[in-house]
Homo-oligomer: A and B are copies of this chain.
């Protein structure tokens, strides 16, 4: 049986909204994210300035900063809205679950979204705020993929006493490295087999 769980991005966003005790106005939210996306498309990620976003979206700066407290937060929000959701499948096989995840993400990254994410990683190396938001985002994705590993442990496919994030991190590290080295078109099958402890051919 194959089931699919929703990308937790949206849930996370909702949670964040609740935690600041204020409900976003959907029209303003759309206007702000549209404005940020337009500015990025025109000037690149480095050209994104909070003031310009507020102006273009005709939104107050206080509103903008309440929902996205920094440039980094806004960048990641634009990326997450723009890219299709990754589904975390539950096929009953860690190899299949990992492979689906990796292939979905590679497909997403092979277009504009990959260029966008590469630019966020690049920006994070000189902007500590973007670095912090990227680290949070990475930790969230890692947790989502670790849940796939936990299910595999419960089925007895892999040892129960290992930290489920270990395998998840190796999968994600491989994919980041492929993205950053422009090698997304090369095979990942052997790697995924190894990380899933699988003899499938």
Interface residues of A, Cβ cutoff 8 Å to B: 118-119, 121-126, 131, 134-135, 138, 162-163, 166-167, 169-170, 172-178, 180-183, 190-191, 194-195
Residue in chain B with minimal CB distance to A191: B166
Q: A119-B126, A126-B119 are in contact. Are A194 and B170 (CB under 8 A)?
A: yes
The residue that A177 contacts in the complex, of B167, B176, B195, with Cβ under 8 A, is: B176
A193 → B minimal CB distance (Å)? 9
Alpha-carbon gap, A46 to B31, bound state (A): 34
Across-interface contacts of A121 in B (CB, < 8 A): 121-122, 125, 180
Contact B182 A170 (CB under 8 A): no
Nearest CB of chain B from residue A131's CB, rounded to whole Å? 6
